[in-house]
């Protein structure tokens, strides 16, 4: 009987960690989306886009990566980091694809969340 209780406890802990990870990813993605919106808003209104990009980079490096690094593959985080690092040079060169790069960051973050959702076919 003790073995069944221990097994059930382990299963409940695994499920709890998985749910916590999903909520953490969702919360961090919402904040990342807010930073992206701030960058796009400053870009479209000819505001201080450089400081918004710096704020996005700071949030990503100090908060997003530290939290999600426990749950997510580093390759996905590296892809987002690469996209973020391209923003400032694109802004300085007045590249037409600046908004598209911001949307690319948003899509990469969305894909992180989607890939962490539990799905039946991943069990086998």
Enclosing domain of residue 89? 2-116
| Structure token digits, residue 120 | 């039946």
Q: Of 87, 42, 41, which is closest to residue 60 (Cα–Cα)?
A: 87
- Total domains in the chain come to 1
Question: Do the domain assignments include residue 58?
Answer: yes
Question: Do the domain assignments include residue 124?
Answer: no
Q: Estimate the crossing angle of helix 2-44 against helix 98-116, to 10 degrees.
A: 170
pTM: 0.85
Q: What is the pLDDT along the chain (124 residues), one digit of tens a residue?
A: 889 999 999 999 999 998 999 999 999 999 999 999 999 999 989 888 899 999 999 999 999 999 888 888 788 899 999 999 999 999 889 888 889 999 999 999 999 999 888 877 766 6
Q: Of 102, 65, 69, which is closest to residue 83 (Cα–Cα)?
A: 102
Question: Do the domain assignments include residue 122?
Answer: no
């Amino acid at each position: 009987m003790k073995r069944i209780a221990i097994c059930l406890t382990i299963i409940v802990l695994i499920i709890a960690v998985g749910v916590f990870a999903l909520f953490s990813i969702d919360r961090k993605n919402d904040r990342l989306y807010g930073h992206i919106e701030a960058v796009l808003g400053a870009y479209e209104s000819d505001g201080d886009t450089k400081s918004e990009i710096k704020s996005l980079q700071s949030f990503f490096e100090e908060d997003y990566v530290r939290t999600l690094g426990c749950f997510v593959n580093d390759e996905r985080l590296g892809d987002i980091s690469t996209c973020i690092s391209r923003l400032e040079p694109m802004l300085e060169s007045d590249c037409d694809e600046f908004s598209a790069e911001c949307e690319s960051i948003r899509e990469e973050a969305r894909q992180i969340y989607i890939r962490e959702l539990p799905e039946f076919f991943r069990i086998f």
